[in-house]
Structure 1
Amino acid sequence: MANVEPGGSSFFSRAARPLLILSAVLATYFGLSALLLPFFGVPNLYTGIERWIVPAAGALQLAAAAVAFVLAMRHELRGATLAVAGCWMLGWLETLPSVVRNGLGVDAEARLTLASFVALPVIAVSAAALAWRNRHPILAALIVTAPTAAGVLFTLAFGIMIAMYGF
């Protein structure tokens, strides 16, 4: 296992572990919401096979996120990267039934969904391949946490814009 020491030499090695932890926390939230929403939130939200695929994938995503969190806290970069990649693939699996039923629209609203639907498996598989070989564990961790890092940067930029110009 590739261990990342707390006093890593580069900025990227120090940033990999907190990003993995943040990704695991977000995957925990997504897994919990996918697991509990059909039962406690909106009972008739999903129909057909979606009624069971989404909560099952949410439960598996929750378990993978817990594993990723524990491994990231233990400084095991390879295992945490593989677990976060598994979380993203399980999140992608949740969207699969609705995409099969409704298709991928190309209107302005669906472009982000289309990009996410195509990009998440590419990101997860490429990071998992790098982490599995254990040749570039920090690069693999940074690739798999790219959606989380982009979300944090967009949120910060939005907050700064609101602070400067108002809402």
Structure 2
Amino acid sequence: MADVEPGGGSRFGRAAWLLLILSAALAAYFGLSSLLLPLLGAPNLYTGVDRWIVPATGALQLTAAAVAFRLAARRDLRGTTLAVAMCLMLGWLEMLPPVIRNGLDLGAEGRLTLAYFVAMPVVAVSAAALAWRNRHPILAAFIVTAPTTAGLLFTIAFAIMIAIYGF
């Protein structure tokens, strides 16, 4: 089995830990914003059942992110990967009521939403299955952090394009 300690000798192990912590931090941010925005920022943002589902899933996502931080502090790669997978599934669950109510728009931006809506459970469940068996823990960590990695790469590419061509 590979060295998966945060300060260990494996380059991939250190990268997996860094991406897991970054994913947990983003999940904590999204969970906190989902929890507080409908209650404090924009009280009429959601209507019907969304008014309570979004803050509830935000609170659960914040809790799962806190569990991920605790498990990362204890150097438990399997548990941290499972907690981050749970954060991904809670973020997907938060998106479910608007998709049921409005449907999936297949316009330009809608394709990205459709890809996210279909791919997120596949990514989270496959990473959780690999982490649960504990056979390839670093691969499971890379799979569960794939959305964060893609977002980070798109952000870097966008920043480079703005730096070259201006805004």
TM range (shorter): over 0.9
1:9 Cα deviation (Å)?
A: 3.8
Partner of 2:77: 77
Greater mean alpha carbon deviation, residues 90-99 or residues 5-14: 5-14
Give the structure-1-normalised TM-score. Answer: 0.95
CA distance in 2, matches of 1:43, 1:162: 35
SS at 1:106 equivalent: coil
CA distance in 2, matches of 1:90, 1:107: 25
Alpha-carbon contact 1:20-1:84 (below 8 Å) kept: yes
Residues 39 and 101 of structure 1: CA distance in aligned 2, closer, same or farther (over 3 Å): same
Partner of 1:53: 53
Total equivalences in the alignment: 166
Greater mean alpha carbon deviation, residues 115-124 or residues 7-16: 7-16
- What residue identity is the alignment partner of 2:119? A
CA distance in 2, matches of 1:104, 1:9: 45
- What residue identity is the alignment partner of 2:70? V
User: Within the alignment, does 1:63 sit opposite 2:63 as a pair?
Assistant: yes
CA distance in 1, matches of 2:31, 2:3: 27
Partner of 1:149: 149
Residues 6 and 44 of structure 1: CA distance in aligned 2, closer, same or farther (over 3 Å): closer
Which consecutive segments of 4 or more residues in structure 1 shift more than 2 A? 6-11
1:5 Cα deviation (Å)?
A: 1.8
Alpha-carbon contact 2:34-2:58 (below 8 Å) kept: yes
1:7 Cα deviation (Å)?
A: 4.3
Residues 3 and 132 of structure 1: CA distance in aligned 2, closer, same or farther (over 3 Å): farther
Partner of 1:37: 37
Question: Please, which runs of 5 or more residues in structure 2 have no aligned partner?
Answer: none
CA distance in 1, matches of 2:16, 2:134: 15
Q: Percent identity?
A: 77
Q: CA RMSD in A?
A: 1.4
1:92 Cα deviation (Å)?
A: 0.5
1:14 Cα deviation (Å)?
A: 1.5
Partner of 1:8: 8
1:111 Cα deviation (Å)?
A: 0.8
Partner of 1:121: 121
- What residue identity is the alignment partner of 1:111? R
CA distance in 1, matches of 2:84, 2:94: 16
SS at 1:48 equivalent: coil
Question: Please, which runs of 5 or more residues in structure 1 have no aligned partner?
Answer: none
Residues 166 and 92 of structure 1: CA distance in aligned 2, closer, same or farther (over 3 Å): same
CA distance in 2, matches of 1:88, 1:6: 22
Greater mean alpha carbon deviation, residues 21-30 or residues 66-75: 66-75
